[in-house]
């Protein structure tokens, strides 16, 4: 009877953990993808420039870069799940307050939610590796699909929600705090499981990135791959609506076209990590991700009719493949949870600082050149760099992290 009860409890807490992964993933992109379609609404009301609008989606990326390196040290004291619980609380507050008033609260709330998302970005690969060691590809796929489904939904319904008289753009931004509240409830329900086994339940990360890891060629390839594959989507989340409106689409159509772009992410974010996990080397799939990005963006730059749906989906497939492969690199290029978290921390801290240049830089260039030709050429160049870096990061080698050096197997 006790064994039966124990098995039921284990299943219950495992189901809660899977639900936690799904809902935490859902919170990591939707607060950001909901902003782009709403730019025409709050740009007029708040009377802000392209540079400041770019800053709205640049601030989270700067927060990812600055705080990612601190996450392993914090989670080593409190455990991954309790750290994620605190992050979800911070995220709910940040999402809610950013739309309460004017520009200062918009920027402060955005910075707060960026800090919270940084914790989720860094900790989720390590949590999956430690709790589902034999289903890494499947669970990474579930995590990625959830992130992108809700990211696409946020883009698609942002304008319809904002257009409802009793809602407006402020409520259209705030509504996504519901997902973090659900994640908080699930994590609170898992607290007894965390306490039951003492420290064993708190998945520990021993140290923050050592100096040695910064001397690894593979670690740098993973980091730059991570940065550039984030540079493109976050730039598109911010400016794709404006790019599409210059081609003759209205705000609502632009919002749904961003959702269609993210439809391409969904199957690939589920399938790519499973395929990558079964491959001895991920060089081919890493290179392919960059080429899909390139040809998709080329089509977006050239087409102004409804046929633009095709290159948008191709771009989405590239984005989904690149993101999933980047997540898999944290696991496949390392031997332990600690190493995985350190590589994740390095790649996301340096990578997101690189990615943060995108929304602000491209918006400023578009404003100065009065068009989107040069920004799109910059994005296509980044796509070719992703293809090249994928052939290096995809090598069947592992890094060994210690305080002195890093070497490859």
Q: What is the pLDDT of residues 3-31, one digit of tens each?
A: 555 777 888 888 899 999 999 999 998 88
Instruction: Tell me the angle at which helices 357-369 and 373-393 cross, rounded to the nearest 10 degrees.
Output: 150
Which domain CATH number covers 390? 1.20.1250.20
Over 60: is that where the pLDDT of 403 sits?
no
Cβ neighbourhood burial of 291 (10 Å; 0-12, 13-18, 19+): middle
d(Cα 83, Cα 89) in Å, to the nearest integer?
A: 10
Q: Give the Cα separation of 286 and 269 in Å (integer).
A: 13
- Judge whether residue 75 has pLDDT over 80: yes
Number of domains in the chain: 1
Helix (H, G, I), strand (E, B) or coil at 66: helix
How many whole angstroms separate alpha carbon 341 and alpha carbon 83?
14
d(C-alpha 179, C-alpha 30), whole Å: 9
Q: Where in the sequence is the domain holding 22, given as residue range(s)?
A: 2-408
Q: Is the pLDDT of residue 203 over 50?
A: no
- Greater pLDDT, 348 or 84: 84
Reported as type and span, the H/E element at residue 376 is helix 373-393
> Each residue of 314-323: pLDDT tens digit?
999 999 899 8
Residue 207 has pLDDT above 50, yes or no: no
- Contacting residues for 145 by C-beta, under 8 A, at least 6 apart: 266, 269, 270
DSSP 408: E
List CB contacts of 177: < 8 A, sequence separation 6 or more.
91, 92, 95, 96
pLDDT tens, residue by residue, 88-124: 999 999 999 988 888 889 889 999 999 999 898 888 8
pLDDT at 204 over 60: no
H or E stretch covering 351: helix 337-355
Residue 206 pLDDT class (50, 70, 90 cuts):
very low
Strands 399-401 and 406-408: antiparallel
Most confident of the following: 155-164, 300-309, 333-342, 399-408: 300-309
Coil, strand or helix: which one is 401? strand
**Mean pLDDT of all residues in the chain?**
84
Q: For 251-312, give the DSSP string.
A: HHHHHHHHHHHHHTHHHHHHHHHHHHHH-S--HHHHHHHHHHHHHHHHHHHH--SGGGHHHH
Contact 287, 391 (CB under 8 A): yes
pLDDT-derived band at 209 (thresholds 50, 70, 90) equals low
Query: What sections of 132-211 are H helices per DSSP?
Result: 136-163, 168-174, 177-189, 191-196
């Amino acid at each position: 009877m006790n064994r039966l009860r124990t098995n039921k409890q284990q299943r219950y807490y495992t189901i809660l953990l899977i639900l936690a992964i799904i809902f935490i993933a859902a919170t990591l992109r939707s607060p950001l993808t909901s902003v782009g379609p709403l730019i025409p609404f709050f740009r007029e009301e708040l009377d802000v420039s392209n540079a400041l609008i770019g800053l709205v989606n640049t601030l989270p990326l700067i927060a990812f870069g600055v705080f990612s390196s601190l996450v392993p040290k914090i989670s080593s004291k409190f455990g991954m799940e309790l750290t994620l619980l605190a992050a979800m609380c911070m995220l709910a507050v940040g999402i809610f307050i950013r739309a309460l008033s004017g520009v200062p609260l918009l920027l402060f709330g955005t910075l707060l939610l960026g800090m919270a998302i940084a914790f989720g970005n860094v900790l989720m690969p390590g949590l999956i590796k430690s709790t589902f060691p034999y289903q890494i590809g499947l669970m990474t796929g579930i995590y990625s699909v959830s992130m992108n489904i809700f990211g696409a939904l946020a883009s698609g319904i942002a304008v319809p929600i904002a257009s409802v008289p009793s809602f407006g753009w402020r409520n259209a931004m705030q509504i996504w705090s519901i997902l973090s509240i659900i994640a908080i409830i699930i994590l609170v329900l898992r607290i007894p499981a965390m306490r039951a086994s003492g420290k064993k339940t708190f998945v520990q990360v021993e140290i923050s990135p050592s100096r040695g890891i910064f001397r690894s060629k593979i670690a740098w390839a993973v980091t730059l791959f991570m940065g550039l594959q984030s540079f493109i989507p976050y730039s598109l989340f911010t400016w794709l609506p404006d790019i599409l409106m210059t081609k003759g689409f209205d705000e609502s159509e632009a919002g749904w076209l961003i959702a269609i772009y993210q439809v391409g992410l969904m199957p690939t974010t589920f399938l790519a990590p499973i395929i990558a996990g079964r491959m001895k080397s991920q060089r081919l799939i890493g290179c392919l991700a960059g080429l899909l990005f390139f040809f998709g963006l080329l089509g977006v730059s050239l087409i102004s009719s409804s046929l633009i749906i095709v290159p948008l989906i191709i771009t989405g497939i590239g984005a989904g493949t690149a993101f999933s492969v980047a997540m898999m690199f944290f696991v496949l290029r390392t031997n332990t949870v600690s190493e995985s978290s350190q590589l994740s921390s390095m790649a996301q801290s340096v990578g997101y600082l690189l990615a943060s240049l995108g929304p602000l830089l491209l918006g400023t260039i578009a404003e100065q050149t009065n068009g989107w030709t040069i920004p799109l050429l910059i994005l296509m160049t980044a796509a070719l760099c992703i293809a090249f870096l994928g052939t290096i990061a995809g090598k069947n080698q592992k890094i060994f992290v210690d305080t002195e050096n890093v070497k490859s197997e």
